[in-house]
Structure 1
Amino acid sequence: MTLYKQLSLLVLGLFVALVLTLSWGQLVEMRGFLYRQMGVELDNSSQALSMMLKPHMEQADKVSAEALVSATFDGGLYQSIDLTWLADGSVKRWHSSEAHSEVPRWFSQLGWFQPQQRNLVITSGWLQLGELTMTTHPGYAYRQLWNSLVNLLLLSGGLLLLTLGIARWGLHRLLKPLHAIQSHAEAVAQHHFDQPIAEPATRELAALVRSINSMEQQLQQQFQAHADQVSRLQSSLLADAVSGLANRQHLNQRLSSWLSEPGEGMLAMISVPLLEQIRGQFGYQLRDETIQQLAQQLTKLCDPLPGSAAFRISANEFAVLAMDLDLVAQHQLAEQLQQWAARLEQNSALSHPDKVTIGVVVRLPQHDQAQLLAEADGAMRQAQQLGEPLHWFKPQQQPVSQQQWRSWLIEALEQPMAIYLQPVQDWQSHGVKHYELFGRLCNQGEAVHANQFLPYLNLLGLGSTFDRCLLQQVVADPRCRDSAHPLSINLTSESINHPPFRHWLASLLEAHPSPLQFEISEQQALRGGSNLLALRQMLKKLGYPFGIDHFGRDLGSVDYLRVLLPDYVRLDHSFGDTQGQQELAQALSLTAQGLQIDTYLCGVEQTDALVAWQDSPLAGYQGFIAPPQPWSLLPEGTLQEDTQG
């Protein structure tokens, strides 16, 4: 029961008790007054009637005397009147037992009024003429008391309604700060930090508000401290001290993670030999200032392109990694880099600056990290040898055209997909926490890895179609509905930014409740936007968990965690592949833990690799320690096993 209802009932109870007490006192006093009034009225009436009967009794005129008594009795105030003639001993009796119809029967039977009786002897001098006996009827008193009770109840009811109205308004006004405190406390519990609550005038509530504001400030400082620690570690481990750009180690990590997942884009290697000329002629200070300006210019070029970043990989060499860009956007970026290089040469303080050269390689499905770096470096060296500002690495095999990919994808999406499951294991029990679900398109009966077709799904605007086909196939499978383990599906960027898909997904989940959960990449989380927030709110409202993949891949703020509040995050694969990253991963995990978000380690190859992470606040792990398996080949009952293994 709410505090408002409790206070309302308390006010109502006190008012009713007060009204009952006052009403009872009023009724007791009214009863006494009426009883005394009946006695006085009886005395007056009996005296008056005896005086009026005396002349008639002296003359023995019975007719006139009885007529006089009848007129008095007909007034209805008497239960009985007895007139006795002492001369002949005759007795005349008037009696009535009728109750007043205005009074309920149960009320008149309470016995609050007893009949009063008066006996008078009528005399003429010393001669006794007769005896008069009058008994009052209590109905009149009951009627007066009943009318008083009804009026009192009506007045009390009106006062009760008025009091409840005033109490409702007053309690609502008094409890309004408490409702604000409750809403703010719930927001703080969800780690939504807002402006501190203004202290109310009520002293007790003011103390509570100060406590909540203090708690909120401490939580905010704790989260900010973890975020600052992440930024410091990122800067010390993965950033170049002079330029502020990411260093070669971070480039290697980004490439490793990027190439382990489906994607498209390009890598550009940039040689800036004029930096060495500036150092030789003007010293290190001017060279460092030039590097900082150069870094700012490259960052400005990459900022409008989500997933793009600049790196300083050696003293005079830089790199630009552009992920999730189609060929048209890649050529536009390469042209902008070429124009930037020309301006850099013109604006340098050198009379004969060495040429800036750029080598570009486009990612292909068969690329690994070493091959991609070697081809980009080779393209840059080729540009230097040919004296060209920009050189594109040309693959030996002619890539498939977009039209060919479109035709194949449309045909493949009409066929059932091959579904694979990879477990995420609990850190303590090593049982299955949930399964990550992958969908692969089929080509002539063989499953095609997502690395090969997913870039073209997004490029050709078929990402949401792929997600729809995958979800429809999954929810229609009885093994999904009966699964004791959640099944995690990673949504494409097109689906996230496509409101019709969001509405369709809500309808599907409402019509087919399933143990599903959904993920997005950190890159998509950093982009944010109203569509992503709407998707997160929809999934939260329907009760479906939400996660973020590739956590910690980008050198950026983790403030998006407070906005999206995912249920879990997966550390980027580079943390599992690279040694010496435990400190940064632990800082990231502590930041997530402060928001009650589970953290999973990815890229785990062997059980021995878990030993180095024992001190990190991790909830689970995943990798080729338990590789993906076709859903159709899983042993019967695998998904129905207990989640703790």
Structure 2
Amino acid sequence: MSMYRQLWFAIILSTLIALVGSLFASTISSRAYLNEQLRMKNSDNATVLALSLSQKNIEPVELELIVASLFDNGHYASIKVLDPAGKTLVERTAPAEQSNVPNWFKQWFPIQSIPGQAQISNGWKQVGTISLVSQNGDAYQTLWRSVQEMFAALTISGLIACYLGALILRRIKQPLKAVIDQAKGMTERRFIITPESSVPELKQLSTAMNSTVVLLKSMFAEEAERLETLRAQANSDATTGLSNRNHFISQLQACVEEENAPAGSLVLIRLAELASVNKALGRNKTDDLLKKVGQLLAIHQKHLHDGFAARLNGTDFALLFRREDAHTVSQKILVEIQKIFAEETESFTIYIGYGNYEFGITPGSLLAQVDAAVASAEATGSSNVHESAPLNIEHAPRSAEEWTKLILRAIEQNWVKLAYFPVTKSNGELIHKESALRLMFGGEWFPAARFLPIAERLGLTEKLDLIAIKLALEELNKASSDKEIAVNLSARSIQSADFRTRLKAILQSKPAAAKQLWLEVPENGVFANIDAFRMFHSDIAPTGCKLGLEHFGRQFDKINLLHDLKLNYVKIDGGFIRNIESNDGNQAFVKGVCHIVHRLALLSFAESVTSEAELSVLNQLGLDGATGPEVGRQFPLSE
């Protein structure tokens, strides 16, 4: 499709969108107004009628006659009078009104006539309740007529806009086509000089384009060559063709700092006697040997899962990979490099160190750890492969079976506890204590972030969640405890029927403490498993626990599901809170969220408040409370 036709299409489409949008907005606004008018009318009429009936002692027969007389006027769809016990005394209902408004229009834009209700009394004694609903036929007629008039007006406006657009496009079509052809030529590396347009604005564009073409024509070839050279210099080692140190460090950071990245292995290779070989064989021959080493590592890079090879300096090489036994790979590389150098020299020493890594370790710590393994191999005085010693238990290489044993041992030995953080109002009043599970490994308490991702992969989250619930209930059961506690549950746990049954039994065993317990589940886990959460709510709600969502706001498009989840509160994700004092958009978003959830009778809290400035702004946005490091500093929990 030509640009001219696209512009035509854009004009027509924008006009159509404006027409439909304006028509829809106007219809919705009018319908809302009519709904409100009907509601007010019903309420006012019910109140007036109730007052008139309350001024005298009316017998049932007289009441029925009054209602019948009022109903026969034809203004009401139904009138009903109930006694204080809820028994119907009088009821009149009219058949559906007939009108020329299409049924599809009524289905798309329904007008709800909300019943008006009022109490009928005799002195201080309640006689009954009157409920009446007005006919909505006139409202539909008014709305339908308004839509027709608005559609006619907008259609005429749209036709005029299209006509004016045609005149403008006709004038600029030829020069615009020339500029388009020139732009296409540039994308195809053809540099076209076009005549300047007589249209002032397009003349400026033509001049600028011609100047750009002249400049690009002289610069393109050399720029392409220079960029290719810079790319190679920036990321590659000139001798071996492998990635250089800077590129390797960037890749290593991505491997160890991305929370979702799986564990892997790092191998460092040191060619100890390279200087002697260079002296004996000469630079060119030594470079040939290094190229062969580079080709060898490139082959391993290709065949290993997520393999990445690099030359770090003159003598050191590195290899990153996942899902392979690092010791086997290191031994194989040692043998292959020895074969390469055996062709040119009788003896050559190679030292290799390797280590495993996972999320949480810093790149510097990992490099130091594996470099120490290389030094350990170097201390033997002969070609060797050494495994790095873990810096501490947190970074110890561990199989799934070993992790399972470690976590289960901590559970069996009762090396578990809860850490508490305050959730407070703006004045510092404590709302509840947010808890986080801790496990002891090797005499040190570790936060949940270290072991929960692994526990989830191993299917141990249900055990850990139940332990956290038991610890929280024990704390709440203490005579000195008068503050409520929140516990985070895994989305995977609540999907298990067995977990829900066991949790319900635990809560029912301590009914008083259960009423002080707040249970929260990550938003993404709830919205991804709505049916499971509904069953979870059905099982747990009778115990009196409060239920909420944490990390709320990431899937804000599903907020319409909140009213159906029967929640008590939400905790707004820290991503919307961080630096909120300088982000007007997030301020408006958080304020809007608070307004919506409050209308749903939910509480709203802010997560991860890290600064006084954030807390100060949040206090002005309508939140019910906040939690995070800054809240803990300003309002620490008393021991």
TM-score between both structures, scaled by the size of structure 1: 0.39
Query: Which has the higher relative contact order, 1 or 2, with Cα contacts under 8 A spaced 6 or more apart?
Result: 1
Report the TM-score when normalising by structure 2: 0.40
